[in-house]
A and B are shown apart, each in its own frame.
Chain A
């Protein structure tokens, strides 16, 4: 089946530094990649949607200069948290939609970010 590889699974960084999270579709081409954030005991919150080769569409309240999304190819999308602060500590997860299966979504394994 379709697999999305997300790295790193855990990262601890210092305040003020930047962290890059990578999601790669291993055996399919992802026309659209979704990036979510999840707080403890809460459901997934969509941060942004990216289509290959175009700028990401950010949800209301999500700072595009802080959460940089790049979807340069049909198999790779990255989320960079810039100038990280402790309040950015969260669980980040991506989801990719296969160009062959409009309704199908494959999720990454998630990244636990801790900013100290």
Chain B
């Protein structure tokens, strides 16, 4: 069992739909990151969370430390949101990130 698990692995949506990607982890963490990787490969850090909720534009990230679970929501999805979304946790015991397998999101016009 991976320390960080994401669901779903693949997600196809129609433009305008509300999207949720989930991340569960099994270790103690200092912080959780949501990353976006576009087809070209470059990675953008969307959020870093240690508690509660953060919002940036159409993106919302939440974390429940007790349940060891985080969600990334995209409101009013757009084709340009199509990318791989990766959850990564920074364990309290170390300095490295542990990555989930990623969720491939495709938003169709």
Which A residues are closer than 8 A to B by beta carbons? Answer: 32, 34, 38, 42-44, 46, 49, 91, 93, 95, 97, 103-110, 112
Contact = CB atoms under 8 A, between A and B. Distances in A.
Interface size class of B (residues with CB under 8 A): 20 to 34
Contacts of A112: 41
Interface of B: 30-31, 33, 35, 40-45, 48, 50, 86, 90, 95-97, 99-102
A104 B95 CA distance: 11
Contacts, number: 51
A27 to B, nearest CB: 15
A44 B99 contact: yes
Contacts of B48: 103-105
A48 B30 CA distance: 21
At the interface, is chain A mostly helix, strand, loop or mixed? strand
A109 B50 contact: no
B43 A103 contact: no
A46 B96 contact: yes
B101 A91 contact: no
7 contacts: A43-B101, A49-B95, A93-B42, A97-B95, A105-B48, A107-B45, A109-B40
Given A43-B86, A49-B96, A105-B97, A110 B41 contact: yes
A46 B96 CA distance: 8
B95 A32 contact: yes
A97 B45 CA distance: 12
